[in-house]
Amino acid sequence: MKKLWRIFKGLLLFLVFLGIIFVRTLHMDTLLLDTLKIETSDHITEEVFREITQITTHQNILRYNLEVKEQAIEAHPYIQEVTIQRKYPNTLEIKLKEREEYAIIPYNGNYLFVDRELFLLRISESYMAGEAPVLREVQVRNFSLGDAVITENDDLVKFAFDAYEALSVSGFFSDIAEFYLNEDELIVETTEHIDIILGMEIDLPYTLVATEEVYKDLISRNQRNVSIVSKYKEYIYVESGTFMEQRQSNVDEEELPEETESEIEEEMIGDD
């Protein structure tokens, strides 16, 4: 028993000694936070980092639970991963992996900025053209900032993203204005008033190479207000009118007033 007591007593004294050292360490001037090293970021500046984590300089770097601070930063919509490390004696190093804006989805007067996985990054009342492609007619079912947007036409949205990546190496990529999702088709609107209609069954790389040749030929012959249609594999043709012109034509037809029975009778009497 005496031997066990001596062991216990020695262990207790050792723990007390460690506690004293830890407390002294927390108050050492040499471990006061002096520098925040944050990787280049468009969204997490030093000021934003301090606001989110409540980390301030001139505090001992051992006082902070870095795992909790990482979780606070990862709650930011644009941040996918973050690592915070202590670099003794007085520096915290922050490494970030950010999500990138991939598309803009118009919805009820607002614009939803999403990444490649439809993760909602921000909501705005306006957008700057050219920063990311505008993807219209996405059937949004549900969305929440910091979560993936849920859509009714998810397969077509994914096809649009694949097409966008394939188009990014084409010779007419700079002419692309907006994308429209139309049932099972993707309409690519260009600034040259030439639409490209793509079906989901096509072989994207092969089709877009052929499409580019047709597009350049139309430009060389100064043909506008047409659509290059490729809904099926190895089958491309050109039809008159763009998608928006055809849509407007359909709207106009629907808005034409129907003749009443009395008007028809009057016409018949007049013919007699």
- Domain limits, the chain: 28-98, 99-152, 153-255
Q: What is the pLDDT of residue 111?
A: 95
**One CATH from 3.30.43.10, 3.40.109.10, 3.60.110.10, 3.10.20.310 for 28-98:** 3.10.20.310
Give 121-172 as a DSSP string.
EEEES---TTSS-BEE---EEE--TTSBPEES-HHHHHHHHHHHHHHTTSTT
Give kind and range of the element (H or E) at residue 141.
strand 140-142
Q: What is the pLDDT of residue 26?
A: 43
> Which tokens is 101 given?
């804006």
Q: Residue ranges of the chain with pLDDT lower than 70?
A: 1-30, 129-130, 248-272
The single-letter DSSP state of residue 186 is E
Q: What is the pLDDT of residue 16?
A: 44
Give 14-45 as a DSSP string.
HHHHHHHHHHHHHT-GGGB--EEEE---SS--
> Which tokens is 212 given?
């580019």
What's the whole-model pTM score?
A: 0.76
**Residue 196 neighbours by CB distance under 10 Å:** 28
Query: Nearest CA to 245 among 193, 198, 175, 173?
Result: 193
* CA–CA dist 4, 139 (Å, integer): 73
* CA–CA dist 244, 242 (Å, integer): 5
State whether residue 58 is helix, strand or coil.
coil
- Partnered with residue 124 across adjacent β-strands are 111
